[in-house]
Amino acid sequence: MDLLQRLLMVVFAGLLLVGCAKGTSDDFFVQPEWAGYLERVPANLGFEPAVTDWERAPSLETSHDECASPQQTTEAWAAFHGLIGPEKPDNLTVDLRTRHQQDTATGLVQRWGFKDDSVAGTDYQLTLEKTNGCWQPTKVETRHYCRRGKTEGNLCI
């Protein structure tokens, strides 16, 4: 069994275990393009693609006037930061989704298909809280999909 097959088996087993774990209900954070990318990477290249850990990005924790719902806030936030809009580069896919918890909501912006030899895509996770009828991001975290792996310092190679 080659390295790629072993990697895919480990990923599949991990996803299976996560799916069966208590408290998990869906694949909200799964990047749909990642599994296909892993299948296409030749095993003998000397590196293993990886996903960085989530890291907080305080500079992205901005508030907006369009905040009546978590979806509206996530869309306004993404547009403000230039992550969505009419001038999207070719072959770049963007996925926005939200989900409600008890007193908070999570917004997720996923961008995939960068024309970069290191970073294939980036996810932005927004923790949203409702204050005075307005949903605002209280925490923003990012993670990157690394084509050639990542360093111990959580950077794409």
Q: How many CB atoms lie within 10 A of CB 125?
A: 20
Question: What pLDDT score was predicted for residue 4?
Answer: 43
pTM of the model: 0.81
Q: What is the mean pLDDT of the chain?
A: 85
Q: Residue 119 — pLDDT band, cuts 50, 70, 90?
A: very high
Residues of the chain with pLDDT > 70: what percent? 83
pLDDT tens digits, one per residue of 120-141 = 999 999 999 999 999 999 999 9
Spatial neighbors of 111 by CB under 8 A, at least 6 apart, are 83, 92, 93, 94, 121, 122, 123
**Which tens digit of pLDDT belongs to each residue from 14-28?**
444 334 343 445 799
68 near 130, Cβ under 8 Å?
no
